Each structure stands twice: as C-alpha cells, then as structure tokens.
Structure 1
Amino acid sequence: MNTSHQTGGFRPTTGFDQPDFVALRPDTGDEHVLRLYCMPPAGMSASFFNAFTSHLPDAVSVHGLQLPGRGRATGAPVHTDPRHLGQLLADRIRHDDSGHPYAVFGHSVGALIAYETVTCLVRQGHRPPTLLALSAMAAPHHPDFAAKAPNVLLGGRKGLEELFGRLPDHAGHGPDALISAWIPMLADLLLALQFRPHQGPPLDTQFALYGGEEDPVISPEALAGWNDISSQPATPRFFPGDHTYLLDNVEAISSRLTTDIVTSLRGWACPADDPASPSGECSLGNLRGRTRS
C-alpha cells in the first residue's frame, strides 16, 4: 500500500519490496511552499524524522524514505545497489513533481542515498533540489567511512551500536529478532561501501553540511569533502554529540535547516498557475517563524 500523499493526479502504488516516501507531514495546499525529502540512516525507517516535523515551518511538507526490510516492510528484500536505488527514488520524485521547489536531506548512509538520488535526477535532465543537506557522512571519494566500516562489521552488535546507537529493545528477545534488526543495517553498510567517486561536473545546487562535534567515524575534513563536488560550497555546521547527534539536537538542526531552506529559495518563482502565488512569486512570509505547536 502506498502511504505517500500527493497534491493531485494519480500516483501508482509501490510494492511491499519497493522504496517509497511516507508523508510525515502531507502537503498543506495553498500554504505549501516546499517539499522536503528525508533519507534516514542505516537500518532506520521513515519514522526516524518524526521528531522534526513539529519544528519545521508549516510551509514545508516532510516526506521520509521508507526502504524495504524495516518498519511495516520488515522481511522484504533489502536494496544494496546504490545506483539502482538512486534511480528508483529519482523516478518517484520526478513523478510527484508539482513544479514547487523541493529539498533533499540525508543523515549518515541516508546522505549518500540523498546524493545518489540527486545525481540521478540531474543525469535524467530533471531540475535539482534547491537544497541538498548532508549530515554525518563522508563524500564518496573520501576514505573515512570505508576505512572505518570494517571495524563496525567485525564488531558485531557492539560495533553497530557504537556507530548507530542502541538497537531496538525487541532485538534482544531472540536470534530471529536480532537478525531482523541487523539485516537492514548491514545492507545499508554494504550499500554505502559500493558508492563510487563522483563523475561529471559538480552538482549545481546549494549544499548544507551538518555533523557531530564528537563523531568517531566522520571527521570534519571528510564532511567538508562534499564541497569538492559542488559548485556552491557550504560551511560545515557542527552540533554537540557523536554520529547520532541528530536526535539530540532536533530543534537546533531544524532551525539551521530552515535557515538554509530559506536561503535556497531566494529568487525562486512558483508555477504561474499556482493559486497560492498569483504573481508567480513564492510567498515565503515569515517562514522561520511558521512552525506547528
């Protein structure tokens, strides 16, 4: 069953074993300005970003990536081919494109998925997002992640939890539950290790780079390495915490992300037939202050 929301027109459902976007906060009609696609870290489902919806402006609709093998799709075959996954997600974004601006945000392995998705969109001739926000991950050409991933793989449960945080409590209730929790994480690690260095011209979209001040896996240099493949380099922003810093700084990161979204929308013109903006200009209003209570 397809759980995504769309602004209009028929959207085909995806299968149990196919990736899709879940509407954590659906498009809101006339006040909708931007659709934000969020890619979660290894092993996590779309619900990873639930905490952020109440801190982002109402004008931003939030759609989380739901990959097979986790959440309601536990037990479905997982994806380990980054190029194929990027193409599938690019197709979903293209199909749902209403002409409004959109942004893509990925954390950890989700940052690599976000990058591959945007790369596929550009390769297909589709317009890129106004903002590509990447968190806690090295650029594909930087050796940091690949050098440290074997320690995670060889460290068993302890290694995984040092990187991704505590596994779900149900994972300790028997070998079957533990395997179900491990499979998506290991699959996403394998996915990350198969990314190839960027080919072609730099991506012509605004970047935002976020990281944890005490991240044991991704160094500041590795995070800054994303600027090598961007025509609009960004200053990395760091927050207290390790590789899972995101969930400890929800309000602060939401505020920073909102600022970066507003910056990326400067000069953007909405579709001419948009009833929310008859002049053709996107009305941002006081976007920073428009959040749900």
Structure 2
Amino acid sequence: MEVEMSSETPRAPNARPSGAPGWVAIPAPLARLFKKFPLLTYPPNELPARSPSARDVATLYVFISNEDALRGLPSFNPSCLKWQAFLKLSGIDFRVVSSNNHASPSGALPFLIPPSSANAPSVCTPIASNKLEDYAAQHGTSNVPAAPDFKQETYESFLSYQIRNAWLYALYLSRPNSALLSQLYITPVSASRVVRTTILYQLRHAAETEILKSMGVPAVNSDALYRGAKEAFGALSAVLGSGDWFFGDASPSLFDATVFSYTHLLLDDSLAWEDRALTDIVKRFPNLVQHRDRILQICWGSKT
C-alpha cells in the first residue's frame, strides 16, 4: 500500500554554548570528535513519482499484482473484481493499487480513496465496498440499472452460497490448485518458508470454516460443492437467456458485474487452474461465456 509521508521533519535542537550545563555531559574525546565531524541534518527524501501530492482520480485498493495494477488489469479476487468492474461500468475514473486486508480501514478489500487536488488537499475519507454503489450513483457518468429486489435476492443466493463455496474449495482447498493459491496470495507476502506455511494453513482453515458454516455440514464434500455450483450456474444461464444482460436490462448492472467476477476468473487463461471442474462447468453455458466476454470488452478492451 502506498504511504503518505509528512513534509515536516523534526528539527535538530539548537547547540548549547560551550561549558553550558546539560542533561548529559558529553565526554571530552567525543566532543573533540564531533567538532571535527559535525552532525548534519539532511533534507527529507522526495516522494516517489508514483505518489503525487494531488490525486486527480480516485484510487481503488484491491488484491492484484503490482505489474497488473500498473496496467489497470482485473483483480484476481472476486470481491475486488466485482467492484472494479462495476465502477468501470458506472463511468468512474480510477486507478488500482495493490493492497491487502491489513491495509484496509474496514479490514477487507476493496476500498476507494476519492480524488483530491492541490486546491483541496484535505485527507479524503476511505469508502468501503458497501458504500461504492452510492458513490457510483453520485459520481458516475453512466446510469447503471438496479435489478428488481425480489429477483436480485433470489439469484444472489446462488452467488453468495453455491458458487462462492465452490470457489473457496477450488482455490483454497483443492490440492491441484495449490500452486495457483501460492502464486496469488502466499508467495508475494514472504520469502520465508515458515511464514508461507503458516499463511497457507490460515487461508485453508478460514476457507474450510466458512464453507462448513455456510452449508451447515460437518465435513467438506467436493462433489456436493461442484454439483451445487453446476445448479447455480445453470439457473443463472436460464435467467440470462438470449439477452445480453441479466433481467432484460439494456445495460449491465451490479448483478452483471457480480456474475462476471466469478466467470471471468474461472475462464481467464492467465490463471493456471489445475483442478478445472468449475471452469468446465461455466463452459457448459455458452451464454454465460459470452456475457463474460462482453463485460471484459467494455471494461478492459484490448488490455487483456
């Protein structure tokens, strides 16, 4: 995470006159040494070029590699990608920065820092993800439709439970995908084998706990998770039908961005999925694949 540095630095205290009493008397040999080599206070280092004092665009902090952040590519985390895509669909101008949950004021990513300028240098209050829809409504240039509540609640359950649980299993618990999990969340954190082993255990334990709590079962069953995901993607495919966007909207909504956050990551060739069960499930529904491609083209065009 980028750190704002203060332009003020402590000043060195005024030198005392020779022979004046002080809190600590400097031994004569040291005093003679300092007279030959006086202590200097150097000016503060300048901020890096990528940390301008005035941010003319908003900054979205997400899980992403530093290289992909510089290119403005999609996040590899569904929760972050959902809002990254939604803000783009809303016409919000922003840049992305690599971050982690520990850097977030709310303890979770993503969060957004609104733009500031030299004329308004006051510190901007971070905006948590649950406030991003309101922010987009106020500052976006595109009118993103809102899905009907009764429909959205029904189909969001597929994303929040069946698909999310299968995603957690595939990435965090499926042994063939251990290399991908390490690449995304473990290797960038530390070179220490002990630290990496600890992080791996914590991530897997958290994922297993969340799955068990969500499903209310005593043990994780991968076959049941993938069956549930297949049913959920099938239901989403049915409601999308032959239309471009969910619920017959003329343009993509937050719900479209949420579906995209999973389908894109499962279809993204740059992610080396070894356990491809979820990827194969999504590919069974051509309209979901095409839906993903449409949003990818609108939001990222030729960058990906």
TM-score (normalised: structure 1): 0.35
Report the structure, 1 or 2, having the larger strand content. Answer: 1
TM-score (normalised: structure 2): 0.34
Report the structure, 1 or 2, having the larger helix content. Answer: 2
Look at both structures and tell me which one has the larger radius of gyration over its CA atoms. 2
